[in-house]
Amino acid sequence: MRVHSCNISEVGTRVNQKARTRAAILQAVHDLARSGAEITMPSVAKAALVSEATAYRYFPDLVTLLLEADEGTWPDPAAALAPVVHSSDPVERIGFATKALMEGVMANESAVRAMIAGSIARPGSAARRPGHRFGLIDAALAPADLAERDPEALAQLRRDLAVVISAEALFTLTDLCGLTPADAITSAVHTARTLTEAACRPAAVTS
């Protein structure tokens, strides 16, 4: 029985050590993201004080690691849109949602860039990306009557906004257009509001 108890203790110790190692790797991602440092498997392993081989034993690729590290780091759409909860104006709400998404991207810039790079390198993993924008878009457009009035127009607007309310759009504005993050966010908000206003505007009555 003493041998059996010892084995149980050893197993428990190994399980706890694995949990601590996994937590350290995930924490390293958060620490690197907060500092704005580049996030790669080697940089994560170094920050977590483990070997790169160890990091890969816990996470088969960077995208998988980033996905797990992303869990719980973004507010759900209802919480993100709480400041405009009493507004029924989809234009106002989509403008706020755009700003919230873009500010979240900038706060987690290195992690988001790493996720985009990883999914581009492995197109099959692109569908695994979190897609925070879609929850925000749907929540922001909830008060609009497009679903009843013109379901296809709503679907098209959702697709249009998915292009605008995105990290890719933000990085295009900062990296290629040379805008500051603040100006880039303002530009994206303007575009999202314009698209939403045009889609939600009642069709003109012709005589």
Give 118-170 pLDDT, tens digit per residue. Answer: 888 776 766 677 889 999 999 999 988 877 778 899 999 999 999 999 999 99
3-class secondary-structure state, position 72: coil
Give which of 131, 122, 106, 137 is closest to 33, Cα–Cα: 106
CA angle, residues 55, 61, 65, in degrees to nearest 5: 70
The pTM of the full predicted model, rounded to 2 decimals, is 0.84
Which segments of the chain have a pLDDT < 50? 1, 3, 203-207
